[in-house]
Amino acid sequence: MKTIKIGGKINLKQPEVMRYSKLFGKTKHEAPSDANSKNAELLTKGGFIDKLSSGIYSFLPLGIRSLKKINEIIREEMNAIGGQEILMPALHPVEIWEQTGRNKTMDEILYRTKAGEKEFVFGPSHEETVTPLAKRQIQSYKDMPMVVYQLQTKFRNEPRAKSGLLRGREFGMKDMYSFHSSEKDLDRYYKKVIEAYLNVYSRCEMDAYVLQASGGAFTDKYSHEFSIKTDAGEDTMILCKNCKFAQNLEVAEGKYDNPSSDEEEKELTKVQVERGKTVKANAEAHNCDNWRILKSVVYMIEGAGPVGILIRGDFNVNENKVEKYFQKRVRPATSEELKKYGLVEGFISPVGEDKKQIESISFVADHSIAKMKNFVTGANKLGIDLVNVNIGRDFEAEDFADFVEVKEGFKCPQCGGPLTEEKAVESGNIFKLGTKFSNDFDLKFTDKDGKQKPVIMGCYGIGNTRLLGTIVEASNDEKGIIWPKSVAPYHVHLIQLGNNDEVNTMAEKLYELMRKDNIEVLFDERDARAGEKFKDADLIGLPLRIVVSKRTLEKDSVEWKERKEGNAKEVKIDDVIENIKKFINE
């Protein structure tokens, strides 16, 4: 580090380490034994991150450089839509979490600590801090819309920390909060955020899908997720091949055929049967297709007892939709609970000779059975089935709703095209909070009519460390990472091969010329074998590799190889700097 005096003042300037031999964090030849994802494997082997504990990582210089670029892209796009950057504490007094009730509802993921008798939590999100902060700033409708954001470290007691940076216990996030005087104004801004988020992903060279997702179990509102398609994804995205309409599996809707809708109703028949409890065993016993089976799935509704969901045998129940319908938490009934209510596991049915038996449970139906005829189902007795069961004649459902878990083979609700299931990583989420937190903290404003009204809020998150991991998951090959130019730690990997004066002199000259022209370059000047240097370069994955060797200098050239391309070429030394500038700006 050099100390330079300017006008009597001291200016400390820390030069960036660009020589590989001096780099803090070197490549490793073996992946960690517990690296269970591509991003964990490649970022650790490449010297970008170092694991301290499960879900907790140190960022090394290469990783920091990429993360800073991601952060700057996020900042620019949030600033462009009126966001103002702040920084809120990571340590929160527990009282503000008690005020919203989330001290209990989020108890499982909260990290807690004490200072004397005072209890604190480490923030997994910041609604509890930003709302009282806004209360001290917002008085009138003239103060809104108001938008603030931060890039902050979050903490979540993740029970299954895995997949490297994709699911951590300590992680980085950009969380933004908007404050509005009307729903209309929130809707307008919400659309702006969607465009800004898509700009972020586009600038990171990621193809993001905007998914309608659940707003939570106890609201009829929806949120939106931004998902990147990758085989390492923890989420399932339902995608239309034709119109590209994308949905989160939790809320996905789809069309399907009704194969028995044109049949005439047949006479109800009771039969004795020896079979297993599954739909497959039932269909085999009656020599019919799975869709012919009327499946009854029993759930325990919090505070309300059991309910049966009626659905076609070839379909599955989406538990998130059940919670959304009842606006309460649900869970599958246990075998003991089924016995308690007089239900015979594997033979449960809305039809039965013993009326008291089926009166112990109410049944609601998925739309998939509404037009179907001549079902096969149990008779609430072991070894007894009913054939040619029909809704309306043999039983009634209390209500019909969408409970089906959409899967590959369904048809798009928008264009009718085929739907596919794709693995994806959720990299961002936006949500209309409404007045929930405003009511909790009495955040009000005076409107044009002079009346006090609650402020309407929105929240918008992007996991910046998660996005870095997602980029690696989506952009790699068998040799290593393939960094997009916009977030690569350096643009050029300059490699010197051989240890003679002519090669050393030219490599040093090119290195200095690149620095002079503000070209971001990592200079591998080590006295190492060519194969080792090339292997490290492919693993690190910078966009462009420039090699200076005795062989290239004989032709007054360098070897030019782009990380995305398979073949190398020769470029004249006199042209290389200008060609690099063009390459970076393409």
Q: Inform me whether the pLDDT recorded for 220 exceeds 80.
A: no
- SS3 string of 128-141? HHHHHHHHCCCCEH
Across the range 489-512, mean pLDDT stands at 95
Q: Which domains does the chain have, with CATH numbers?
A: 38-252+420-472 (3.30.930.10), 269-401 (3.90.960.10), 490-585 (3.40.50.800)
Name the range with the highest mean pLDDT among 15-24, 102-111, 181-190.
181-190
pLDDT per residue over 323-343, tens digit each?
Answer: 989 988 899 999 999 999 889
Across the range 207-217, mean pLDDT stands at 78
Q: Inform me whether the pLDDT recorded for 540 exceeds 50.
A: yes
Q: Inform me whether the pLDDT recorded for 219 exceeds 60.
A: no
pLDDT per residue over 314-326, tens digit each?
Answer: 999 999 999 989 9
pLDDT per residue over 167-209, tens digit each?
Answer: 899 999 999 999 999 999 999 999 999 999 999 999 999 989 9
Q: Inform me whether the pLDDT recorded for 235 exceeds 90.
A: no
Strands 362-366 and 400-401: parallel
Choice among 133-137, 348-352, 537-541 with the minimum mean pLDDT: 348-352
Q: Which helix (H) or strand (E) holds 39?
A: helix 38-45
Using 50, 70 and 90 to split pLDDT, how confident is the model at 158?
Answer: confident
Question: What's the pTM value of the predicted model, to 2 decimals?
Answer: 0.85
pLDDT per residue over 354-408, tens digit each?
Answer: 666 667 789 999 999 999 999 999 998 999 999 999 999 999 999 999 999 999 9
State the virtual CA torsion across 390, 392, 397, 400 in degrees, nearest 10.
90
Q: Which helix (H) or strand (E) holds 506?
A: helix 501-516
Strands 170-180 and 456-462: antiparallel
Give the residue from 550, 548, 562 showing the smallest Cα distance to 513.
548
What mean pLDDT, rounded, does the chain reach? 91
How far, CA to CA in Å, does 374 sit from each of 273, 347, 371, 394, 488?
18, 17, 10, 10, 61
